[in-house]
Structure 1
Amino acid sequence: MRRPEGFERPEAAEEAVRGEAPARRRRSWDRDLDPFRLDSAPSPRSSPGPTAGDAVEEPRRWALAAYAELDEEQPTAPVAPLEPAAHAGEGRGSHAQRVDRAWREAERAQRRTDREEAREARRDARTATRERRRQERAEVRRFTADARRRARTALLAAGGLALALLVLVGLVWSPLMAVREVRVEGAERLDPAVVQQALAGSVGQPIATVTEEAVAERLRAIPQIESFRVDVVPPSSVVVHLVERRPVAVAPGEGGEVVIDAAGVVLGGVDAETSALPRLDGIDLGSPEFEAVASMLVSVPPSVLEATERIEAPSPSDIRLALASGQSVRWGGAEDSRLKADVVEALLATQDPAVAVVLDVRAPEHPVVRGS
């Protein structure tokens, strides 16, 4: 049998080992050198530790003695019968070789066990990591549920508003929402056709684009309109509510007599309805006298205006009314016009229209009735 490398020994040591008696060598092997007999090996606790000189030589001596005995026993070993090729290496070799093979097999088995345990540990670690991540995601979802619900609500609201806006824009600019009718309400002396003719340009345009500024621009040329209000009635109607100017007097104009309101705006010529209005006698439009008369005319009730035939104003503080019955009124200035109008109306109700009298209301708390 060939010794492994590192176990070659000198001839002197080999001869010394071979000269020992077989029984003594057997006892020495069984007692001290057999490293695989745990019951015969000296206890680490009872045996003294190796000295410094024996630390290197002792393992080598044991190995040399063991391999020497194996060499001597090899020739006397019975020849084993031939075995199949699959089991040719089993049971052969010395005791040390069998132990060495068993040791290597045990090491391989241990390595396989270690690899299996490592793979199992990695699988367990991956499973634990996935479970931890799943739990973390569940916790995040639980703690952010309110925020996600608010965000979802906000997104739905924004989407609804955007959709409604798109629908509204589509309807506004569609032909279904175009102006097809203009209605005029509140016209008493003004012909509604005049207003409809002025707003004819709005027909056909989107109803949402009809504004009061645009309507005012078109109605500015009609002096009878004092103010107005526009109502848009979907899908295709525009309603104009008018407040007409109130004619209060007849003033001389360039082409003849014209009807004016309290602001001095010319409303047109005199017709059957306005022919009974009082005439301004010697009062120029825009003068201080006219301003005082205009303030008075705003406060006078229609019954007094209908009974007045002529208005004179030598000065802003001396306004005089000539009634159709022949009676006259000393009005004075434009102050307290509302009270003066009430007093004049009450005095006319108590006087005989056939008697020409002068009603002095310059001091409305103390009116005076005098004969003419």
Structure 2
Amino acid sequence: MKRPEGFDRTPPPPVAEPGEVETESAEPGEARSSRSKSKQPRASRVPPSRPAAPTPQPAFLDVPDTSADEARERARETRRAARRAAAERRAVERTEVRRFTRRTRHRRAGWITAGAIVVVLVGGVTLGVFSPLLSLQTISVQGTSRVDRGAVLTSLKGQVGKPLALIDFGAVKSDLSNFPLIESYVTETKPPHTLVIRITERQPIASVLVGKTYELVDPAGVIITTSTTQPADVPLVDVKGATLDGNVYRAAAEVLLSLPTSLRTTVKGVSASTADDVTLMLSTGEEVVWGSAEASTQKAELLTGLIKSHKATNPTQSVEYDVSAPDNGIIRTK
């Protein structure tokens, strides 16, 4: 039979009053039916002093939370990777753009270069042609001995003040043609202000007796100077009344020009009635039958050999050399 609730429960121990000490029987097995309560003074019941326990701190101050730092670091790495990927993508795009536009860029660079060259050329030509910075101020004449240098400078005075690119060389040629002793000339412009003219004068090759006057002439028959006495350094040419601009004098002059210098200085006179019977008189007394001016170089070599051979065998004998046939020289005794 179930008992009513509470019959078998042990009653709770009584609560001790302040200042009372609960005493229990030390003997085991004794019933706790009797308890004595006694009151003692409060001071005798104070427990001995103990050191104060440290105040417990919150757990989050002792253990650092690294999850937030790791998340931020991962976010930074992600952003850096994204930036690197974007930079690589842009580099690839630029490479592809350059590859597909290479021909266009080369064509554009070619046009730009050509345009720059044209601009530079036009600017240089404009500066050289129209700028007074490159105007002619000095004329230098070189190579004159018989030609009057002062007269040449006076004749070219009209070119002074012109830009070097606008010098009228046709007018220069016309002015210099007034000096018959000028055989040829070369001009050179030296920026910024100088024109150099190098003159080659006509060199006399023979003298011709006209009346009682000896005219000193060059190979073209141009009279260089006149004299009342025969010049000693050039041979006297007798063309039997022919003019100096004819074939007879031209043949005689060609023969003289073909001679080596060592042999030409020994020629005292030249005579010719036609262009095919030129004859030389040497200062040693010998004569040379030359014939026409054809093959004059071979004839000159043949004459040199004949003279050397004759001088080696009989140097005192007066002879006549015939070189009219350049492949068969003849020595005739006078």
TM-score (norm 2): 0.58
Residue 241 of structure 1 is matched in structure 2 by 198
Correspondence 1:217 to 2:174: yes
The secondary structure found in structure 2 opposite 1:315 is coil
Match of 1:303 among 234, 251, 262: 262
Match of 2:133 among 176, 182, 187: 176
Distance in 1, Cα, partners of 2:229 & 2:149: 19
Q: 1:149 to 1:320 in 2, by over 3 A?
A: closer
The amino acid of 1:368's aligned partner reads: I
Match of 1:202 among 132, 147, 159: 159
Match of 1:360 among 297, 308, 322: 322
Residue 208 of structure 2 is matched in structure 1 by 251
Distance in 2, Cα, partners of 1:203 & 1:255: 44
For each residue in 1:311-362, what CA deviation from the matched residue of structure 2 results, as whole angstroms up to 9, or x when unmatched?
1113322111112222211111211111112232344445377643212212
Q: 1:181 to 1:346 in 2, by over 3 A?
A: farther
The answer as to whether partners of 1:325 and 1:354 remain within 8 angstroms in 2 is: no
Q: 1:365 to 1:143 in 2, by over 3 A?
A: closer
The amino acid of 1:234's aligned partner reads: P
The amino acid of 1:367's aligned partner reads: G
Correspondence 1:338 to 2:300: no
The secondary structure found in structure 1 opposite 2:272 is strand
The amino acid of 1:199's aligned partner reads: L
The amino acid of 1:284's aligned partner reads: A
Pick the structure with more helix per residue: 1
Match of 2:242 among 284, 289, 309: 284
Distance in 2, Cα, partners of 1:194 & 1:369: 52
Match of 2:224 among 261, 267, 272: 267
The answer as to whether partners of 1:179 and 1:207 remain within 8 angstroms in 2 is: yes
For each residue in 1:138-194, what CA deviation from the matched residue of structure 2 results, as whole angstroms up to 9, or x when unmatched?
x99997775466346524642453254234423433333122233344446545545
Distance in 2, Cα, partners of 1:371 & 1:253: 34
Correspondence 1:370 to 2:304: no
The answer as to whether partners of 1:247 and 1:274 remain within 8 angstroms in 2 is: no
Shift of 1:255: 8.0
For each residue in 1:39-87, what CA deviation from the matched residue of structure 2 results, as whole angstroms up to 9, or x when unmatched?
xxxxxxxxxxxxxxxxxxxxxxxxxxxxxxxxxxxxxxxxxxxxxxxxx
Shift of 1:288: 3.5
Distance in 2, Cα, partners of 1:301 & 1:194: 35
Query: Aligned-pair RMSD on alpha carbons?
Result: 3.5
Q: 1:225 to 1:348 in 2, by over 3 A?
A: farther
Unaligned stretches of 5+ residues in structure 1: 1-138
Shift of 1:225: 2.5
- Identity rate, percent: 30
The secondary structure found in structure 1 opposite 2:205 is strand
Shift of 1:198: 3.6
The amino acid of 1:219's aligned partner reads: L
The answer as to whether partners of 1:283 and 1:312 remain within 8 angstroms in 2 is: no
TM-score (norm 1): 0.53
For each residue in 1:70-106, what CA deviation from the matched residue of structure 2 results, as whole angstroms up to 9, or x when unmatched?
xxxxxxxxxxxxxxxxxxxxxxxxxxxxxxxxxxxxx
The count of corresponding residues between Structure 1 and Structure 2 is 234
Residue 283 of structure 2 is matched in structure 1 by 324
The secondary structure found in structure 2 opposite 1:359 is strand
Q: 1:188 to 1:357 in 2, by over 3 A?
A: farther
The answer as to whether partners of 1:292 and 1:334 remain within 8 angstroms in 2 is: yes
- Residue correspondence of structure 1 range 81-92 to structure 2 within 5 A: none
Distance in 2, Cα, partners of 1:330 & 1:363: 10
The secondary structure found in structure 1 opposite 2:161 is coil
